[in-house]
């Protein structure tokens, strides 16, 4: 039995460490890989990728939807992340003692909540007279009281986190979800014999979602926002970086949204966003583990073919203006000195994408990387340097970004000079081919570690399929990595690491002695 089970990670290990990264055969790897993978497309457009791998009697199940914060209209910033939370609140079958009895109360909650949100928005009008404002506030207070009453009555039927309880009894590991600028992901690992349970529950999640506890969850999101951004200097600095670099465009806002708009995400907005974007044609399922192709496909087809096909969603038409000069911004904050500097770069679909991955490692991966060695170890002016190849997303024009935390505010100029010096060295071609080879090997070793798990394989297969329309683009990236030359890195550095493409934001620490009376 063991000899019949294909383990891609072990094969990959063999290729890299017996043949060497510079000569390993992507074609041979592809041929062996494809023997153990099947791809299907349901009539409604949903794509399914199955991979037989490993000897553990378990499955990694990843479901990705091609929707994230970049798809949101400006008046509904944060709705993609909010929707991800709501889709854990159950269906007509899960999360309720009796949906038939619960439903009338839910209808009243959403009706009253929509009215309350409308009143709240009306009260924002600065041209209201005092009399108008007083009347609206009285009406709002009554609406709040009615909403709380309906929520209390509906709560008698709610079974909180029933989906988690069911999966726990089924032996789940890693049941979770996340939202990015580009995608929303739902994931879990289960014993192989629980596949049908997963297919039934997850298809119901998108077929019959019930946004119960809507207004309570909206308050939860606001608190999450406070903890992750409003009380974290780096969170606020990152938010400033996005708005400075991208303005009022798809990438110019944080995934979670802003505190000014989260309380006004309405039920109708959220429901409309779900209906417009959660289509089967936008979904990819990757299942990796000890599986039978035909049996697994039949189960997935049985349940997910129930999802109705929808028309392709439209995309937010606002894009960032071409950058014609350096952009700078300061954040006054009680914090240690830190800054983010970044350069506009094309999306992951561009031929230079792999070069940015390698440059990020050259400059910031490990203690011997150029920026960490210089700023942290040699000059000792920074406590931390992190280099990101793509911030905040992949599918649109994005940025190559460097985050730096300093010991003193007086080190800003020194740190920036060091960064520009190192970028100029790269642009001038001062990269030893052996250094590049080391980075390539490290990249592949890290990839290997990811692909040693069923979850890592499922995550990568679903990502490449969703982002590029074909998971096989993965092989192309490996080929491009092998062919990458030091001259390619120098050319990319000269073209993109220039002042007119740069955005830099700083924390300006508050001087406690000069803050005055507050």
* Helices 433-451, 473-483: crossing angle, 10 deg rounding: 160
Residue 55's pLDDT is 67
Domain end call among 157, 183, 201? 157
Q: Are residues 178 and 245 in the same domain?
A: yes
- Which residue would you say has higher pLDDT here, 370 or 2? 370
pLDDT tens digit sequence for 122-167? 999 999 999 999 999 999 999 999 999 999 999 999 999 999 999 9
- Tell me, yes or no, whether 300 lies in a domain: yes
Higher-pLDDT residue of 5 and 225 is 225
Same domain, 361 and 505: yes
- Residue 364 domain-assigned? yes
The 10 Å CB-count burial string (b at 16+, else e) for 379-408 is eebbeebebbbbbbbbbbbbbbbbbbbbee
- C-alpha Rg value of the chain to the nearest Å: 26
450 and 346 fall within a common domain: yes
Angle at 470 between CA 467 and CA 476, to 5 degrees: 95
> pLDDT of 180-202, one tens digit each?
999 999 999 999 999 999 999 99
Helix 412-427 vs helix 486-496: crossing angle, to nearest 10: 130
Per-residue pLDDT at 317: 66
User: Tell me: the pLDDT tens digits for 314-361?
Assistant: 877 667 778 889 999 999 988 899 999 999 999 999 999 999 999 999
* Count of the separate structural domains present in the chain: 3
- pLDDT (0 to 100) of residue 334: 87
**Cα-based distances in Å from 161 to 5, 87, 168, 169:** 36, 11, 11, 13
Q: Judge if 62 and 189 occupy the same domain.
A: yes
Does the pLDDT value for residue 8 go beyond 60? no
Q: Which domain holds residue 149?
A: 97-157
Of 334 and 252, the structure prediction assigns the larger pLDDT to 252
8 A C-beta contact, residue 503 and residue 398: no
Helices (H), 170-266: 195-207, 214-225, 233-246
How high is the pLDDT of residue 21?
Answer: 43
Q: Which of 310, 335, 355 is the last residue of a domain?
A: 310
248 with 296, same domain?
yes
Backbone angles phi, psi at 128, to 5 degrees: -65, 140
Asked if 150 contacts 158 with a C-beta cutoff of 8 angstroms, the reply is: no
Same domain membership, residue 150 and residue 169:
no
The DSSP bridge pattern shows strands 47-52 and 283-289 to be: parallel
* pLDDT of the residue at 321: 78
- Which of the listed residues 157, 190, 209 is the one where a domain comes to its end? 157
**Of the candidates 270, 250, 244, 446, the residue with the CA atom closest to the CA atom of residue 365:** 446
Q: Which residue has the higher pLDDT, 74 or 307?
A: 307
- Residue 331 CA to residue 508 CA, distance in Å, equals 6
Torsion angle of C-alpha atoms 206, 209, 213, 215, degrees rounded to 10: 70
Q: How many separate helices (H) and strands (E) can be counted in the chain?
A: 18, 11
pLDDT for 19 beyond 50: no
Average pLDDT over residues 277-304: 97
Which pLDDT score is estimated for 102?
Answer: 98
Q: Is residue 130 part of a domain?
A: yes
In a domain, 316, yes or no: no
Tell me the CA end-to-end span of the chain in Å, nearest whole number.
73
Tokens 């966003």 — which residue?
273
pLDDT tens-digit series, residues 43-68: 999 999 999 987 678 999 999 999 99
Measure the CA–CA gap between 398 and 323, rounded to whole angstroms.
12
Are residue 332 and residue 203 in the same domain, yes or no?
no
- The pTM for the full model equals 0.91
SS3 breakdown of the chain: % helix, strand, coil, rounded to 5?
Answer: 55, 15, 30
**Which residue bears the tokens 């406690």?**
512
Whether residue 34 is contained in a domain is answered as: no
- Extract the tokens encoding 176: 């979770």
Residue 22 inside a domain? The answer is no
**pLDDT digits over 83-98, tens only?**
999 999 999 999 999 9
Residue 192: CATH number of its domain: 3.30.830.10
Do 341 and 268 lie in one domain? The reply is: no
The answer to whether position 7 is within a domain reads no
Q: In terms of domains, do 490 and 368 share one?
A: yes
262 pLDDT higher than 50: yes
Question: Beta partners for 61?
Answer: 188, 287
Residue 66, in any domain of the structure: yes
Tell me, yes or no, whether 182 and 57 share the same domain.
Answer: yes
- pLDDT of residue 450 exceeding 80, the answer is no
Kindly state whether residues 248 and 388 are assigned to the same domain: no
Does pLDDT of 23 surpass 90? Answer: no
Q: What is the DSSP string of 403-459?
A: EEEES-GGGHHHHHHHHHHHHHHHHTT---HHHHHHHHHHHHHHHHHHHTSHHHHHH
| Residue 350 and residue 305 in one domain | no
For residue 4, pLDDT beyond 60: no
Average pLDDT over residues 401-428: 96
């Amino acid at each position: 039995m063991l000899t019949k089970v294909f383990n891609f990670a072990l094969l990959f290990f063999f290729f890299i460490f017996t043949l060497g990264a510079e000569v390993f055969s992507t074609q041979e790897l592809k041929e062996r890989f494809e023997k153990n993978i099947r791809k299907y497309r349901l009539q409604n457009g949903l794509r399914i990728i199955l991979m037989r791998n490993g000897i553990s009697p378990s499955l990694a199940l990843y479901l990705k939807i091609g929707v994230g914060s970049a798809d949101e209209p400006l008046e509904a910033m944060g709705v993609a992340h909010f929707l991800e939370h709501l889709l854990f609140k159950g269906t007509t079958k899960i999360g309720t003692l009796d949906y038939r009895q619960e439903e009338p109360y839910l209808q009243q909650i959403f009706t009253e909540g929509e009215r309350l949100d409308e009143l709240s928005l009306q009260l924002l009008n600065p041209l209201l007279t005092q009399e108008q404002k007083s009347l609206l506030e009285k009406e709002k207070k009554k609406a709040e009281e009615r909403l709380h009453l309906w929520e209390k009555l509906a709560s008698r039927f709610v079974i909180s986190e029933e989906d988690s309880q069911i999966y726990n009894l089924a032996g789940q590991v890693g049941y979770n979800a996340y939202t990015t600028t580009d995608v929303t992901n739902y994931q879990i690992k289960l014993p192989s014999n629980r596949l049908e349970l997963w297919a039934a529950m997850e298809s119901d999640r998108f077929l019959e979602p019930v946004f119960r506890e809507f207004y309570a969850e909206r308050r939860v999101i606001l608190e999450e926002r406070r903890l992750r951004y409003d009380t974290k200097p780096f969170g606020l600095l990152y938010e400033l970086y996005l708005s400075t670099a991208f303005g009022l465009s798809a990438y110019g806002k944080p995934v979670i949204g802003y505190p000014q708009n989260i309380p006004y995400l309405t039920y109708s907005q959220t429901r409309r966003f779900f209906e417009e974007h959660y289509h089967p044609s936008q979904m990819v399922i990757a299942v990796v583990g000890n599986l039978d192709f035909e049996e697994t496909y039949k189960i997935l087809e049985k349940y997910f073919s129930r999802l109705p096909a929808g028309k392709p969603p439209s995309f937010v038409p606002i894009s960032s203006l071409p950058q014609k000069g350096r952009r700078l911004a300061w954040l006054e904050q009680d914090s240690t000195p830190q800054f983010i500097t970044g350069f506009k770069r094309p999306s992951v679909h561009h031929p230079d994408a792999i070069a940015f991955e390698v440059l990020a490692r050259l400059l910031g991966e490990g203690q011997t990387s150029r920026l960490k060695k210089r700023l942290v170890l040699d000059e000792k002016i920074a406590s931390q340097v992190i280099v990101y190849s793509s911030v905040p997303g992949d599918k649109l024009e994005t940025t190559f970004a460097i985050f730096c935390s300093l010991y003193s505010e007086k080190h800003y100029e020194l740190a920036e000079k060091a960064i520009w010096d190192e970028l100029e060295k790269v642009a001038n071609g001062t990269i030893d081919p052996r250094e590049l080879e080391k980075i390539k090997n490290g990249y592949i070793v890290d990839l290997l570690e990811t692909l040693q798990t069923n979850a890592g394989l499922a995550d990568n297969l679903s990502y490449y399929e969703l982002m590029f329309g074909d998971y096989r683009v993965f092989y192309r990236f490996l080929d491009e990595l092998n062919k990458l030359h030091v001259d390619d890195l120098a050319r990319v550095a000269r073209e993109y690491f220039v002042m007119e493409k740069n955005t830099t934001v700083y924390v300006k620490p508050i001087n406690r002695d000069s803050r005055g009376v507050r």
